[in-house]
Chain A
Amino acid sequence: MNNGYSPLATSSMVPVRFDKSWIETFHSRMERNGPWDDWTCFQLAYEAEQAKRIHSFDELQCLNHLTNVEPLPHQLDTARKVLHEMRGRAILADEVGLGKTIEAGLVLKEYMIRGLVKKVLILVPASLVLQWVRELNHKFGIPAIAQKKEYHWGSEVVVASMDTAKREPHRAHLLNQDIDMLIIDEAHKLKNKKTTNYQFIVQLRKKYCMLLTATPVQNDMNELYNLITLLKPGQLGAQGEFSANYMHDKRVPKNESALQSTLSKVMIRNRRGEGSVQFTKRIVKNVPLELSPEEQALYDGVTQFIREQYKENGQDIGSMFSMITLQREVCSSRDAVFVTLVNLAKKLPENSPVRERIWDLIDLIKSITANTKAETAMELIRGMDDKVIVFTEYRATQEYLMQYFHKHGLMAVPYRGGMNRGKKDWMMDLFRGRAQVMIATEAGGEGINLQFCHHMINFDLPWNPMRVEQRIGRVHRLGQSQDVKIYNLSTRGTIEEHILNLLHEKINMFESVIGRLDMILERFEEQNNLERSISRILMEASSEDEIRTQVDSLGQSLTSIKEAFNGASAVSEEQSRIQSFLKQYSNGTEV
């Protein structure tokens, strides 16, 4: 190939294969003078081929095919790099939340459109199998199936868990296949080359391959070496060469810029920028409410009732599950408490004195004529003149709000976990198109992406901060182009006020993006359960002031964990040159 000489110039080196398998059929039609096909279909077939023709080697085709996903610039850049520079073998190492799945989907779709990939195997942790299947089908129109039966291995696009795939009889099926594209999610689990997982992947016959992980290296430079060797043996040189060239010891890289340029041939890492340009702001507004005397009476009655029950039960929090529920519900709506109270009464023996107490509470419910929270919510919504999603924890509250909004001429659609896929999609369509309000009880799960909506109302607050974050995450996510306004309804003089104070003032959760919340909570929950702690405070405190001080001290311990975290991670970053290398690694975009 040097000195300008190219044996290919004569074309003799590129084999040409002319597919003639059709000739026999053509002959038999001629002999019998038919049956001939339809002339319109004949023309349509030709036109379809013209429309689908791939006219250049490198122009991305997949965008023309995708209507259910709008890839972000860094995702498109990544796809192009994988296709054209990395030749279809790459490690996608974006930080969490930047859309590795989308990037992998784009590359896969492009190869499939070009007819270079038909047989696809996607290995992911068992818990992610269905999510992958759904995303590929819905966002990319790729007919992926989740492997359940042995014969599923024969399908073209199969998603399975690594644990299943590496076991017989599945293993034997896969080792016998030519896999055009292999995708492995959470690929850092392949960092040790002595494991069966690793050896299994070595034995698979594959053409293109993508490894997805947010943490391509954690503690040991050899992890990175193993991962890359799995993808492209020799990319980092012979065994031993890597450690000689790029490692002081297994925790400390050397020749960092050379290492960087070597890695950049196989690994892309997009990072969240310091400014988080892509993330718009969260604007939080707390809306304090004053309960009507009747509502206050119900709240006090229920709280009193719960404390009594707690004392009678020997202060055993564990047995108080329905009581805690009651305490939370009473902050939401009288409808929510009502159902629980009635069910509670039904379970008690006929002559139980507690039954009397419950009927008294139900009488209190009956005396309530207006719902302060619902009124406030409606005023808010009227003033917004924009789409808004209202979150509540309770089905009964949801139904009440549907009714209430309906009565006042506000268009609203419900959304809940129990709905099947089709109904959920339908509700989303209605909300996108015609309804101003969506009332949702479910925040988790895939499928609700509400980037077109910029307002959310927390009608009540979950006591678990992660659930709050999930709610916000539905609206405030990558792709949201506007600031998101979050309204928290909180009634004065109730536990809600304290919880809001805890979440907002103490851990500042409404304003900070994803970040360390999960780690802080994890650490906290090693010793305490946050929800349980709150319940205990509520039941044991003898006065408002006591509640306040107790919740404050809860906040204190969260804050100190948070500070410890910041401090500790700063120290360990100093120690771990690997992590700092990864932080500076630039082959990708700051998003």
Chain B
Amino acid sequence: MVMNTEQIEHFVMRYLESMECQVMEKTPVYVTVKLSEQADRALTNRPYYWGFVDRTGAEPETMRFTFVFDPAKLPPERGPVSYVTAPAGQPPASGGTNQPDGGQDSIMGRYFGVAPAFTGGGGGIGRIPRENVHYGSPRLESMMRAAAEQGRFIALFDQGYAEHRPISRGPKRSLAYEPWLMLNLKVEFACDLKREEIHSLGISLYNGAIQEEFMEQLQQRDMSPKLPNHVHTVPSRFTVDQGILLIEDHLNELLKDIDLTWAIEASERLEEELDLLDAYYIPLLKQEQEQEAARAAQEAAPAVVPTIINKPPSSLIPPEDKEQLKESEQEQTESSVPMSIQEQYNMRRKELEWQFEPRIEIHLINAALVHLPHEQS
């Protein structure tokens, strides 16, 4: 799916506004803001500073940022004059650079020799850090995380319905609202690869009806956490826990119909890999067992043979490697007991299962108690 520049701008602006940040400058290319306390705590990763403010009650100073949506359209940062030489007063050497906009340059030119403008990059007091918020950037990522944390659980009411209620004669009658539970869920189909689906499911706690793409429906309505006047909620027949179970059941039904080719293929890959592993380890294990048996027989005999610990049984070492072994023996001694063949085999098997075994995991994105007009009234 990904987001384009416009969508990112829309996303960032809504986040900043909902956090009540103070917008200092806004252009299509970037926005400069002074963060609200809430946003600063969520975005700037300054736990020590906020710990200090909380303990001492000092007046907090939140950070300012310039978030850039479209770095390509941004002129390079201005900096202290000593680092850039530019024509003083005269236009730049004709055809010098491939600047499309010569006018801008002469304006820049006039700035040089005057006090350096700290808009970032150079450091110094009053510097406003500048950050790109393209898709995949750490900053956009952190805003997404903050939004997720600050938008997990909510209660919502349909406002439009209450505002546009039919004009009634006499005293206002109370309107009936029906309680719904909405779960936005991410379903992960994982093996050594992964695919995801998002399901927004709403269940009426009044009659148990389940609707898909529930969030999309809500976004068409005028929803708000505000409780409208003169409304009442029809009684729930189901508890929230029952609602959750019913949604889970519904989802399980949906999952029964999905294409399972991916899981079959993953299991086949796992089998294949396990076969390879067996081909390698089983002969080694047999060898080891024989070795053990031989040693046991020897130990049973009266002659005492000193056994060497910390060393793989020598029969496992191809003759040409024995020389090498001697060389590396010294190094070997600093390490602890090497893994036995059996231990290695078990570990490699577990790794393969860990990597390939198909599984479906369902995670909650967020959940809401939703109040919609009760249709039967």
Q: Is the CB of B97 within 8 A of A435?
A: yes
* Cβ-defined partner of A240 (8 Å) among B137, B219, B318, B367: B318
Known: A166-B335, A411-B93, A426-B122. 20 other contacts (CB 8 A): A13-B358, A23-B244, A25-B152, A36-B154, A37-B151, A37-B366, A43-B219, A45-B366, A57-B194, A57-B262, A115-B194, A192-B328, A203-B338, A234-B278, A234-B281, A411-B92, A429-B121, A432-B76, A434-B99, A436-B97
Tell me, yes or no, whether A250 is within 8 Å of chain B by CB.
Answer: yes
Residues of A that sit less than 8 Å from B by CB: 1, 6, 8-11, 13-20, 22-23, 25-27, 29-30, 33-34, 36-58, 64-67, 83-84, 87-88, 114-116, 141, 143, 166, 178, 192, 194-196, 199-200, 202-203, 205-208, 222, 229, 232-235, 237-240, 250, 382, 385-387, 402-403, 405-406, 409-414, 422-423, 426-427, 429-430, 432-436
Closest residue of chain A to B347 (Cβ to Cβ) is A205
* B188 interfacial by beta-carbon distance below 8 Å: yes
Q: Are the CB atoms of A196 and B334 closer together than 8 Å?
A: yes
Are A41 and B147 CB-contacts (below 8 A) given A194-B332, A202-B339, A207-B354?
A: yes
Please give the distance in Å from B273's CB to the nearest CB on chain A.
8
Q: Which residues of B contact A403 (CB under 8 A)?
A: 85
B267-293 residues with Cβ-Cβ distance < 8 A to A are 267-269, 271, 273, 275-281, 283-284
Q: Are A234 and B280 in contact (CB-based, < 8 A)?
A: yes
Cross-interface CB contact of A194 among B83, B193, B281, B324, cutoff 8 Å: B324
* Chain B proximity of A107: nearest CB distance (Å): 12
Contacting residue for B362 out of A16, A27, A234, CB 8 A: A16
Which range holds the interface residue count of chain B?
Answer: 35 or more
Interface residues of B in 244-284 (CB under 8 A from A): 244, 248, 251-252, 255-256, 258, 260, 262-264, 267-269, 271, 273, 275-281, 283-284
Select one of B79, B150, B256, B279 contacting A234, CB under 8 A. Answer: B279
CB <8 Å contact, A58 and B263 = no
Q: Choose from B152, B225, B284, B344 the contact partner of A45 (Cβ within 8 Å).
A: B152
A411 touches B151 (CB 8 A): no
Complex CA distance for A103 and B190, rounded to whole angstroms? 23
A135 vs B106: C-alpha distance when bound (angstroms): 37
Check A48–B148 contact: CB distance below 8 A: yes
The answer to whether B367 touches A22 (Cβ under 8 A) is: yes
For residue A427, which residues in chain B have a CB less than 8 angstroms away from its CB?
A: 83
Contact of B281 among A14, A233, A240 (CB under 8 A): A233
Whether B153 pairs with A37 at a CB distance below 8 angstroms is yes
Question: What are some 23 contacts across the A-B interface (CB < 8 A)?
Answer: A10-B256, A20-B244, A23-B244, A25-B152, A36-B153, A39-B225, A41-B150, A43-B14, A54-B195, A55-B195, A67-B136, A87-B355, A114-B193, A116-B192, A141-B136, A143-B138, A194-B324, A207-B355, A422-B121, A426-B83, A429-B76, A430-B79, A435-B84
Q: B154 near A115 (CB under 8 angstroms)?
A: no
B220 within 8 Å of A (CB atoms):
no
Are A430 and B76 in contact, with the CB atoms below 8 A? yes
- Name B105's closest neighbour in chain A (CB-CB): A434
Distance in angstroms between the alpha carbons of A70 and B146 in the assembled complex: 29
B136, A57: Cβ atoms closer than 8 Å: no
